[in-house]
Amino acid sequence: MKRSWIVFLTLVVIGCAAPKERLSFPTTPFSRDNSGEWFDVNRDGKPDFHVMKNSAGQVDRLEYDDNEDGVIDRAYRLSDYANRDVPHFIILLDSIPFQAVLDRWNAGDLRWFGRPQKVIPPFPSITETSFTRLLHAPTLPGVLDEYYDSRTGKVENGIWKRVNGWEEPWEQRVHYHAKMWEGGLSYLHPREWYGAELVRMKRTLDESPDEVTLVYVHSTSGMLSRFGRDGLNETLDGVRQLCLQLLYERHGALKISMLADHGHNLMLSKNVHVGEILSKAGFHVTDSIQSERDVVPELDGLITYAGVHTREPNKVADGMLSRPETQLAMYMEGDRVIVRDAKGSAAVECHDGLVSYEPIDRDVLSYEVVIKKMDTDPTKITDKQWFDATIDHEWPDAPRRIWDAFHRNAISPPEVMLTFVDGFCAGVPSYEKYITMKSTHGGLNQVNSATFVMTMTDRIDHPLRTEDVMEALEPGYIPRGKRPGK
């Protein structure tokens, strides 16, 4: 979830009606048969379009009964179109957990795509960090839109900058994304905004002159945050409708790929008031670090991650870990990252480009069995080995993700990074007045992290890090806003 939705609450646009645009394709099949589904596209009570599966259960044939007499008049095979010969439409969704997509695909849905593959984002598991890495955009100044710049000693409010029209570098590389204030509105009326964004994505493709078109839909975050699992199911129903309408109109002459930024925990979540906890622990919550006891929390919109700027990271960790809602506290100590829970600590280090993980007085990430199975020097484990060995672990790809969080993902990262037990989240207390979180994200664990990619191009057949997805989907692709040498 993003802080952008709260912008709405402080703007004069409060009460602005949600857009009413909707896709024209039917939301449900007219009927089903042994080979696929029939649709009544012109809505006259008779089926006229058949989506047919092959013997492997994959959609490969689109059939049209133009005069609705029960006889197919024309048909097109998806496999007849080579990747190089048709447009490639890449849909970036917000907040979709991997397992839900895999379950739906295993049940026979979304079968114009190949099998979904797991994608692990950078940490924290939030949109800006994930899509910055996806599109290889310049490093963000802070982890969150509103961040404390340790170089200037001031809080920088990137939210208002974006409200005024500035786009983050990754946003400049997609063909469509909602405006900042529209994203804020979508948390209050996500169903209405999602329906409109589906239309906008289609329109963007229809008007795009490019071989590859990327669109990002913000409102799916609100769908899951406000409605939980029901919102997730409605989101997948909606994108299914969009894909079918595009395939119908273009006679299958299109390749579609779809992915998301991070997972979601699908749990009702209660806000943890980080500022109050730090105050009770003896810290002075402020907006500028002037003394040892000063702290500047960085909070996003009710997610399972928070940052704290401080001169005493170990003591901040002590204060936060005294509360059972806090899951992990991470901070730099010398040239290593300390990873702590309430019972002990471990360390992540990096030498010669290789990250390592070692318990200090506790195996915080429960990696002992993983490391033993790799049967190699723990200081010589490669990034690929870490990824392959932990892709389904409770803490997927954690050593590299933790290290990069402090060294790569933001110019001014907080000194302490916190995650919270699922069922709890952190954000500005006033946010609770406007939304009850039925699902959220941000943390390091599997459910917060793991998302998906699926494609009609047959180019992806294994799990990936977010940063490797675009090259796999569209080799050699240079996004909008990016030029060689820049």
Tens digit of each residue's pLDDT (9 = 90 or more) over 369-424: 999 999 999 999 999 999 999 999 999 999 999 999 999 999 999 999 999 999 99
User: With bands split at pLDDT 50, 70 and 90, how would you rate the model's confidence at 69?
Assistant: very high
* Mean local confidence (pLDDT), 44-54: 97
pLDDT at 165: 78
Q: How confident is the model at residue 367 (pLDDT cuts 50, 70, 90)?
A: very high
pLDDT the model gives residue 139: 96
pLDDT exceeds 80 at position 163: no
Q: Does position 30 have pLDDT exceeding 70, yes or no?
A: yes
β-pair partners for 93 = 217, 260
- 16: pLDDT confidence band, cut at 50, 70 and 90? low
Query: Residue 58: which residues within 8 A CB-CB, separation 6 or more?
Result: 111, 112, 114
pLDDT at 294 over 90: yes
Q: Is the pLDDT of residue 481 over 60?
A: yes
* pLDDT at site 365: 98
Q: What is the mean pLDDT of the chain?
A: 94
Q: What are the residues whose beta carbons fall under 8 Å from the beta carbon of 80, sequence distance 6 or more?
A: 252
* pLDDT recorded at residue 4: 45
CATH 3.40.720 residue spans of the chain: 4-135+170-267+449-473
Topology given in CATH for the domain delimited by 4-135+170-267+449-473: Alkaline Phosphatase, subunit A (3.40.720)
- The pTM assigned to this predicted structure is 0.95
Q: Could you tell me if 382 and 372 are in contact, meaning their C-beta atoms sit under 8 angstroms apart?
A: no
| pLDDT value of residue 17 | 72
SS3 track for 119-176: EECCCCCCHHHHHHHHCCCCCECCCCCEEEECCCCEEEEHHHHHHCCCCCCCHHHCCE
The predicted-structure confidence for 343-353, as pLDDT tens digits, reads as follows: 999 999 999 99
Residue 195 has pLDDT above 80, yes or no: yes
Give the per-residue pLDDT at 118. 99
From the list 98, 152, 154, the residue with the least C-alpha distance to 121 is 98
> Which pLDDT value is given to residue 486?
38
Tens of pLDDT, residue by residue over 326-363, are: 999 999 999 999 999 999 999 999 999 999 999 999 99
Q: What is the pLDDT of residue 482?
A: 57
